[in-house]
Chain A
């Protein structure tokens, strides 16, 4: 190989590396089309040193989640101010009809979406299994795992939430595993998913003891197959 060819090859490799590095965050979140994901997957297989950067991107993603989660448990505000700004009174009846179920609908859609980031970054074979499973979950989750969800909330966190935490589920958590963990601990999802796939989980009544709250949080964190992180809310 001539020096010129060698130099051209080195430049091509450097360009390819930068292209891959620029797409790693999207590869980690799963927001990348299938063909590009395959190309990057192939590249990472051939370059294990670059594959180590996936851990950096995952750490960035998790930190961004926590930094943003601060706002996730903000109480829902009334529409009245906006209604005044547009010169309309807030009309209630139709909203009640369409608002009530939307959180469950969002959950089902999240799990049913073939391209859902909830599927994370998985090998092709595993992804197919999870997609099939996720589609089934989308149809069956509410009917088959009612214990995961609290019907009291109405989906917008407007009802007495009690003592809550904000949770993001592990990328490969299955609904069965979530149901197993949650029913064992007696905790329930009362709202979500919000931005960043965050869910609000009710641990118990507002006046529950600190010791019990700490125990439940520790138990949730211990289920790393289910929960990616848990954040206490004020």
Chain B
């Protein structure tokens, strides 16, 4: 069997200034980190650069990794901080700004009738239209499949806030869908 080095072992090696270990971590996680950041900043070039910066942060701060959370959670946490910091600097997308206003609100024209036939496409569109903090929690829980405690660690918020934020994001999804003529029957 070929050699396999666990992430936490790699991070320990990075703490000892092993750039090969950092490269292995990079090759292993860059897609996930890039995708996560790209969904937040909505700009692939920016996401590319921020992804690199995440791994520079790993290089600088690997010694502080205590293994209390999974390596992936730690990396996502760094990525979250980088992405949000970049958004705030850019000021093109305020933290609580929701793109939902750009969604059409009409209910009964023929286009909407066609759209009703493809609820999943509409749902996707509404997820993309959520405010950044709502979209991020949806991605972390459903796509990255984090537990409550892991999402709490990534976002730096209490576990109760994780649950409430996700709950509110889902309610907002229902509202957006309703604006598009789809009643999910909840809440």
Contact = CB atoms under 8 A, between A and B. Distances in A.
B163 interface: yes
B3 interface: yes
Interface string A78-99: 0101110110111100110111
Nearest to B119: A59
A77 B30 contact: yes
B33 to A, nearest CB: 9
Interface in B147-180: 147-148, 150, 163-164, 166-167, 170, 173
A74 B56 contact: no
A18 B186 CA distance: 12
Interface string B119-145: 110011001100000000011011111
B164 to A, nearest CB: 7
Q: Output the residue of A59, A60, A102, A197 with the most chain B CB within 10 A.
A: A60
Contact of A25 (B35, B164, B170): B170
Range for the number of chain B residues in contact with chain A: 35 or more
B103 interface: no
B107 interface: no
Given A74-B31, A76-B27, A86-B22, A63 B123 contact: yes
Given A60-B123, A101-B3, A32 B141 contact: no
Contacts of B26: 79, 82
B143 A196 contact: yes
A156 to B, nearest CB: 6
Nearest to B122: A63
Interface in A7-24: 18, 21-23
B38 A71 contact: yes
Given A31-B145, A71-B31, A76-B27, A101 B4 contact: yes
A26 interface: yes
Contacts of B2: 97, 100-101
Contact of A86 (B34, B56, B145, B163): B56
A145 interface: no
A99 B139 contact: no
Contacts of B22: 79, 82, 86
B52 A91 contact: no
B88 interface: no
B27 A95 contact: yes
Contact of B147 (A21, A26, A196, A197): A26
A195 interface: yes
B138 A117 contact: no
Interface residues of A, number: 54
B58 to A, nearest CB: 9
B61 interface: no
A150 interface: no
A72 interface: yes
A160 interface: no
Contacts of A56: 170, 184, 186
B1 interface: yes
Contact of A98 (B24, B124, B164): B24
Contacts of B147: 26, 31-32
Contact of B120 (A59, A86, A98): A59
Contact of A68 (B39, B56, B173): B39
A90 B24 CA distance: 10
Contacts of A22: 163-164, 166-167
A172 interface: no
Interface string A55-67: 0110111111111
A68 to B, nearest CB: 4
Given A79-B23, A195-B32, A61 B142 contact: yes
B129 to A, nearest CB: 11
11 contacts: A31-B150, A32-B148, A62-B120, A64-B142, A67-B127, A71-B34, A88-B19, A95-B23, A97-B2, A98-B5, A99-B24
